[in-house]
Structure 1
Amino acid sequence: MTDPTVRTTTPRSGRLKLVLIMLVFLAPIVAAGLLTLSGWQPQGKGNGQPIVPQRSLAGVRVEVDGQPWAWRDVEPRLTLVALPGPDCAVRCVHTLGLMRNARIVLNRNADRLRLLYLGGAPTAAGADAVMAAYKVGSDPADAFGEFRPTEPDSVAAVLVESNATALSYYPAGFDPNGLRKDLQKVIR
């Protein structure tokens, strides 16, 4: 005689539960695959403009103190390339100072960002104090010409990954506070 209070499960209900559990885990994977195949990609909320198509700067020769700049450093470090327009003066030096401050705000991770200035020396008062944080170099092949601003007393920037890939571009007049936020997201 069987006890009516004991419930027996059939193999069919066990299989149904297993299939439902598998569907719960499989559904997000299938949804992500469908979104990717449809061409949708999530967009980050970075303040810089993405460089599309991404390009490698490994072959770009930049000279600093007569030596080629090592895009791929011994440690993985990003490079923020400052590109001044003609006649870098007061406004340009002010922006360069804010870019330097964005590096300082990284605290213990500040060493993971190198500052590179490509252009003629700034002429404004106090420029020497700001430029002490930068490596000053030249771009003989003008590889950064398309990113360099044409308006006087301005500066643009390009953020370069440690593998020499140009990540994002900050055109003249960019918000240095937005650059700081981007650097804090990228460098951890």
Structure 2
Amino acid sequence: MNETRSPSSPHSRKRSRLYLVLIALVFAAPMLVAGLLTLAGWQPGTKGNGEPIVPQRNFVAEKLDVQLADGHPYAWRDSKPRMTLVALPGPDCAARCFDLLTGLAKARVMLNRNQGRLRLLYLGAPPADPQRREAMQPFWLLGKDVGDKLATFRPSAPDSLGVVLVESNGTALSYYPAGFDGPGLARDLQKVVK
């Protein structure tokens, strides 16, 4: 006579448990691999084009004083969460510097409906050419770093531009030194300004 195994036989329970463990491993394996890759320092698609600011700085905590051209102080924390792109020109901001500023203003416009979530702040002497200075005023807030606390980010080469991306709470996220990749910065803005 053939023996049929009942569903509650020890062999059936072992097989059911094995299937349950295999199903759990199928779902857990990608998470384990991702965790191991993260611990190893590899994170796909998270590398930005700017340099991380280490040690991290918070301009609100540092009481970094910025005075706008109209005499008012700049509020790092706004009434609504908005990031700030701070442009720091080297000496004598002329044609190349102005072209970079124009490109950054275009990158902000390309954020479409999210462009209101990014403020453009220019800290330094504006371009000497009155037409260029007038052309940038609709897009850029002009001001100066009163305590010169951002001097480490300001390039020393003439007609150059360095940029710092600042979170809405005043935390400086990344620095783009003179000679930065404009399209790369635009891609970074697309990722973080949502």
TM norm structure 2: 0.85
Q: Does the alignment pair 1:133 with 2:139?
A: yes
Root-mean-square deviation (Å): 2.2
Find the aligned partners of 2:43 and 2:134 in 1 and give their Cα distance: 42
> CA 1:68–1:177 in 2, change beyond 3 Å: closer, same or farther?
same
Unaligned runs of at least 5 residues, structure 2? none
Out of 29, 52, 67, the position equivalent to 2:54 is 52
CA distance in 2, matches of 1:30, 1:185: 26
**Structure 1 counterpart of 2:80:** 75
Residue in 1 aligned with 2:32?
30
Q: Using the alignment, how far apart are the partners of 2:36 and 2:96 within structure 1?
A: 48
Residue in 2 aligned with 1:118? 123
Aligned partners of 2:58 and 2:93: how far apart in 1?
27
Which of 14, 19, 23 is equivalent to 2:21? 19
- Relative to 1, partners in 2 of residues 1:32 and 1:45: Cα closer, same or farther, differing over 3 Å? closer
* Map 1:172-183 → 2, pairs under 5 A: 172-183=178-189
Amino acid in the other structure paired with 2:128: T
Residue 42 of structure 1 pairs with residue 48 of structure 2: no
- Take 2:180 and 2:35, find their aligned partners in 1: how far apart are those partners? 36
Q: What are the Cα deviations for residues 111-166 of structure 1, in whole angstroms up to 9, with x where unaligned?
A: 01000010112113433112321111111111110000111111111010112111
Determine the C-alpha separation between the residues in 2 that align with 1:15 and 1:83. 63
Give unpaired runs (5+ residues) of structure 1: none
Q: Give the partner amino acid of 2:65.
A: R
What amino acid is the match of 2:41?
W
Q: Which amino acid aligns with 1:60?
A: L
Distance 1:41 1:74, change over 3 A: farther
2:171 to 165, 169, 174: 165
Farther off after superposition, 126-135 or 97-106: 126-135
1:96 and 2:101 are equivalent in the alignment: yes
Aligned with 1:91: secondary structure?
Answer: helix
Find 1:109's aligned residue among 104, 114, 122.
114
- Check if 1:61 corresponds to 2:86: no
Residue type matched to 2:190 in 1? Q
Comparing 172-181 and 152-161, the one that deviates more: 172-181
Question: 2:37·2:43 contact (CA, 8 Å) conserved in 1?
Answer: no
For 2:15 and 2:34, the matched residues in 1 are separated by 29
Q: How many residues align?
A: 185
